[in-house]
Amino acid sequence: MHGDGPAPPPLRGVPAGAAPLRLRGRTFGPEHPVVMAVVNRTPDSFYAAARHDADGIDAAVDRAVAEGADVLDVGGVRAGRGPRIDAAEEIARVVPVVERVRARHPGLLVSVDTWRARVARAAADAGADLVNDTWAGHDPGLVEVAAERGLGVVCSHTGGAAPRTDPWRVAYLPRADGTGGDGGDPLDAVVDDVVATLTAAARRAVALGVDPASVLVDPTLDFGKTTWHSLHLLRRTPRIVQIGHPVLMAVSRKDVVGETLGLPPEERLEGTLAATAVAAWLGARVFRVHDVAATRRAVDMVAAVRAERAPAVAVRGMA
């Protein structure tokens, strides 16, 4: 619900949000933060509550829709280390979910979390709307599939890490030409690298024919980064926003939250919501999450404080 009247003008001094997101002809402006629900068809996801077998997937999807998800992100391979899953097995896990979601919830946008062009093509045939390339173009053919099939694409940053590897002694060096950064902080080197990588990836996607409003950029916290790096990227979200494409922030229950607070995945909700609210205030547009209802309320509240969204009800003091 967005209330009966238009949202008021943006507040002065509030960081501007990125361009609107457009997928399958639907446009999401600043008044509607986009919640992307994680639904994994993997038995070994780092967060046990996100693991779903074939029998439980319908209930998980129905719950995400009821709680306010705009996009469903289906994953078939754990991001971290684990048993090898080839493309055929990934397709067998993911494509039936895409088909069932498209049949049960025709209006729900569907994303597939994969780095493989072959999987992206099969998902497109099944009705997917977006490819979430978490591994930063490791398969250069993936973005070509998105362009050919009219899908959106998420451009990510991993600092050159290969799929399903963990960061080890990660370091980013200041630019040799002395440019970049916005405060003289040595950690700005990671921001410079992220901005350069995402800008180049987004330009390639647009050049291939992907709608600019369907190209998302994700700083990809934790991937190829230390916790210090990820925290710094959160506070420098406005620099990611300045790239000019909708910013996807995937912080849900990640190690950046766990290491900062000293908590296991099952106890990271409050930290996740705090980081999500900061990112939303600083202009991020899309939020990939495990906890849909809590996130929906948090980002809608931030949008209202940012003067981008009207209250659902505003009768106090009016009678």
Q: What is the CATH number of the domain that holds 102?
A: 3.20.20.20
Distance CA 141, CA 146 (A): 9
Output the CA torsion 78→138→153→168 (10° steps): 60
Q: How confident is residue 242, by pLDDT bands cut at 50, 70 and 90?
A: very high
Q: Does position 7 have pLDDT exceeding 70, yes or no?
A: no
- State the total domains in the chain: 1
What does the pLDDT read at residue 184?
Answer: 67
Q: Where are the alpha helices (DSSP H) in 209-236?
A: 227-235
**Range with the lowest mean pLDDT among 43-57, 123-137, 256-270, 297-311?**
43-57
Residue 311 belongs to some domain of the structure: no
Residue 46 belongs to some domain of the structure: yes
What does the pLDDT read at residue 3?
Answer: 46
Which residue is associated with the tokens 């799929």? Answer: 163
Q: Does position 73 have pLDDT exceeding 50, yes or no?
A: yes
pTM for the predicted model, two decimal places = 0.91
Residue 12 belongs to some domain of the structure: no
Q: Does residue 54 contact residue 42 with C-beta atoms inside 8 Å?
A: no
Residue 164 belongs to some domain of the structure: yes
Residue 319 belongs to some domain of the structure: no
What does the pLDDT read at residue 49?
Answer: 67
- Mean pLDDT along residues 108-123: 97
Q: How confident is residue 177, by pLDDT bands cut at 50, 70 and 90?
A: low
Residue 109 belongs to some domain of the structure: yes
Residue 169 belongs to some domain of the structure: yes
Residue 247 belongs to some domain of the structure: yes
- Mean pLDDT along residues 156-164: 89
Q: Does position 14 have pLDDT exceeding 90, yes or no?
A: no
Percent residues over pLDDT 90 in the chain = 75
The domain in which residue 156 lies consists of 21-305
